Structures are given as structure tokens and as C-alpha cells.
Chain A
Amino acid sequence: MQRRVTTVLSMGAREFSRTPLLLALLVFLPVYIIGVFVWLVSDTAVPATIDGVRVSVSMSAFAAAFMTPVAVAILSGIVGLFLVQSSRAADDRLRLAGYRASELVVARVGLLAVGTVVAATASLAVALFAFSPETVAAFALATVLCGLTYGVLGVIVGTVLDRLAGVYVMLFAPMVDVLMFQNPLATDSPAWTAALPGHFATDALVGAAFTAGVPLDDLAAASGYLLVLLGVSVLTFYRTTAVE
């Protein structure tokens, strides 16, 4: 099994490396989205709710911290969507050749992780230029978890919807979930927003950015959420590529 996964992964990585424009976009777009936002907002203090405590943070530091998961989630979601769409024909044939759905999903998600790490690294570089998180390692881990969560969600959406409909969905979902419903500036969030994909990773990221302790609970919950989504993606992938 490991050899088959490695083969699919290395073929995908080779295809990835042949699209330098995509890699350039994964680096440039976070710089644009975070950099421009930090540059444009006024540097006033804003009240944020972190771990139930009301604290005051500067708007530029908040923008740098908070636009990081937004940028990575949008990029990873779209990459996940197209990763599964573009490899659909090949994956159907690999299933006929004996590959299991779980092997293919693990290989595709492995490739997605590469894209997420590229986008997250570029995002972190800009964010760290603009402000200093309290716990850099936890901040970076939460960013990658948020990206992977939306990447796997993109894989699920790409498995069940076509490209046009999938892009519609991935255009709205990360922006509304992460930027709007997980925003610590909000004081009256509906309870159901805690069930959204970006919840735990964003909580962990904001905690790592502005509080001294490492938000282990949120990181563990975000990892659990990711594993559940991964299970769902294997199931949907299995159903759509089932060999008769």
C-alpha cells in the first residue's frame, strides 16, 4: 500500500512542479491578500473576544493574524477542488487497476498538503513581518490545519459537484466561515457556528496569536475535525469511483 501511495504522490508532485504559475500564485496571492489588508487598515485598537476574555488588540496585528487562515483556507479549498477534479479520470482507471479509495485519497491529500504548506509558508512570512504571535509554532500549526481542513472540504466538494458549481461553493464557504463567523471581534455569534469547519483551527490560531498559552484543546479538536472530514472524503470518493 505504501509503495502505491508514494507512486501516486510522486507523480502528482511532478505534475505540480510542471505548473510554476500555480506555485507562483500560491506564494503571491497570500502576500497580496494579507499585505494589502494590513497596509490599508488604520492602526487603531479593537476589542476582541479570545477564550471568552475581552482583550484589546491593534487592528493591523489583528488583520495580519486573521487574514492568514482566510487566505490559506481559500487557496487550499480551491486547490483541493481542482486536484480531485483534474485527477478524476486517472483515479477511475487506478481504481480499476486495484488501488483502494483510501490509498488514492491519502495520496491526493498528501499532494494537497504540499500546496497548503506552500501557501501557509508564504502567508506566515507576511504575517510575521507585520506582527509577532505569542506562540509562533502553534500559530503556524493552526494555519496549516485550517488550510488542510478547507483543502479536504474542497476535495469532498470536487468529488460531488462539477467545477463551476464547486468554485461557486468554495468561493463563499471559507470567506463566510472563517472571516465572518469565526471572527473574535463578534460578540453575539450563534451557537451553530461552532460546528463550522473553520471553528477550532481559527480559535487555536487566534489563541496562539494573542495569548501566552498553547491552545492544545483547540489544536486537538481541529485535528479531530480534519480526520472526520478525511473519513468523509474517503467515503464519498469510494462511492463515486466504486468499481462495479
Chain B
Amino acid sequence: MNASRRITTGVRASTVSFFREPLNVALLLALPALSVQIYGVSLAQFPDVGLFDAAGSLETTGRITGAVFATGALAGVLGLFQMISARNADHRLSLCGFRPVELVGSRFVTVLAVSLVISAVSTGTLVALLSTGVGAPLAALAGLTLAGLIYGLLGLVVGTALPRELEGSLVLVMLADMDNVFASGLFDIDESITQFAPLSHPHEIVRQAVVDGTLATGHVLPALAHVFAFALLGVGVYATTIANGGDA
């Protein structure tokens, strides 16, 4: 079996195991929409008197924050559980001749596919709910996909380095929640610090796409750098653990 065929087989197996659970599919479709709506409603209850450092209306900022958070967090949790649940199987596959880069590559492609689905749902919800519309829907979709990819890869890294469901979930949930607060731009926090929050660049891409109708080209490269860094980290940690028999 050649490398591309092995990756295709891995992707198909991971995707089928995820979509086999109807509840997973339902949550994947419902939660982004729910998150966009809830974040919009919740921020609309705050007085728009300079309490927060938002560029546009608080409701719009809330909906954008909800979309970015839902996409990132859902992809992150999926990446985490993918790595933990497939740990022993992957070790056996590596003994059968699968290379670590092929195994982690198949997980990566699965996360990318699911991120695209979540991003599409989130973009559709933004278009439907924002009274002002979305200036550049494709740019918003790209920003949300980047958020999904970054957190999907972060989930893969956490799932590999911390292969226990409870502990891994605690770390990922805390990272996602805090990252979202920093990336939202709602609080007056120094940009030299918030730029290191993984979701900050995708958030800015989505914000500019929604509010200004343009692609925030200055944020694309840093977002891709996060993707690249987490991908490298993921392959490195994964190759090490598989070589050690699947134990971190």
C-alpha cells in the first residue's frame, strides 16, 4: 500500500468513526449556530459606553467571537479525542509499516475536513443573523477555517502529549476559553501580548471580513505561522510517542 493510499484509508476511518455518531453530527451543526446567537445576545446586554474595546457594535463583535470560538473549540476537542482514542491502534499501525507522518497526516486531514464543515455552518449563521450582512463571506470562511485548523492541531498536540481524556479536556477547554477572551479584542489588553493568542489572527481576519468586507492580509501570515508551528509540534510529539510504544 503506498503512502497516499494509507493516508486516504486513515482519513476515511477517522471521518467515518466520527460521523457514525448522529449526536456528534447534530452538535457539530447546532453548536456553532447556537454559539453565534448566544454570544450576540449576551454582548448586546452590555451598555455601549466604552466599557469594552470593540471596534464595531457589541452585538456584531459578540457574534464574530461566538463563531470563532465555536469553530476553534469544536475542532480542538475533535483533535484531542481523535488522538486519545486512536492511540493504541496507531501504535499497531506503526508496527505494520505506517509512518508517524502518515498517521498524524490522516488525523490532520480529518480535522481540516471537519473544520471546513464547522466553518461553513458558522459563516452561514453569521450571514443569516447579522443585519448588516457579511462584507466578504469567503474571507470570513477562510478566517474561520484557520481558527479550526489551529485549534484542531492544538487538540492533536494536547491529545498526544497528555493522553488522558479528563486532563486533556481540562487543558484544552481552559486554553480555548481564555484564548477566546483575549482574541475577542473586547478587553483593553496590549496587542503585543494578545498577538500570541492563537485565535487572535483568525478573529481579526473574520472581523475585517464581516465589518470592512476585506481580507486582513496582515493577519493571514501570522495565522498560517500558528498552523505551521502546531503542525510541526504535532508531528514531533506524535513521532516521539509512537516510537515509545504509544506512551507519552
Contact = CB atoms under 8 A, between A and B. Distances in A.
Interface of A: 19, 21-22, 25-26, 29, 32-33, 36-37, 40-42, 44, 46-47, 70, 74-75, 78-79, 82, 86, 161-165, 167-172, 175-176, 179-181, 183, 185-190
Contacts of A79: 166, 170
Contact of A162 (B23, B46, B174, B189): B23
15 contacts: A21-B167, A22-B166, A25-B167, A25-B171, A29-B171, A162-B23, A164-B21, A164-B78, A171-B77, A171-B173, A175-B177, A181-B45, A183-B46, A186-B47, A188-B45
Contact of B38 (A44, A170, A176, A183): A176
Contact of A41 (B38, B46, B169, B187): B187
Interface centre among B73, B166, B171, B177 (most CB of A within 10 A): B166
A138 to B, nearest CB: 26
B15 to A, nearest CB: 14
A164 B78 CA distance: 8
A187 to B, nearest CB: 5
B35 to A, nearest CB: 6
Give chain B's interface secondary structure class. helix
Interface string B1-38: 00000000000000000000101100100010011001
B39 A176 contact: yes
A41 B188 contact: yes
Contacts of B43: 180
A114 to B, nearest CB: 14
B81 A170 contact: no
A163 B172 CA distance: 14
Interface residues of B, number: 44
B173 A78 contact: yes
A189 B189 CA distance: 25
Contacts of A46: 51
Contacts of B181: 37, 179
Interface centre among B51, B170, B178 (most CB of A within 10 A): B170
Contacts of A75: 170
Contacts of A179: 181
B77 A172 contact: no
Given A78-B169, A163-B81, A172-B38, 10 more contacts: A19-B164, A37-B178, A41-B187, A74-B173, A86-B166, A165-B24, A167-B169, A171-B73, A186-B45, A188-B47
B206 interface: no
A187 B27 CA distance: 31
Nearest to A82: B166
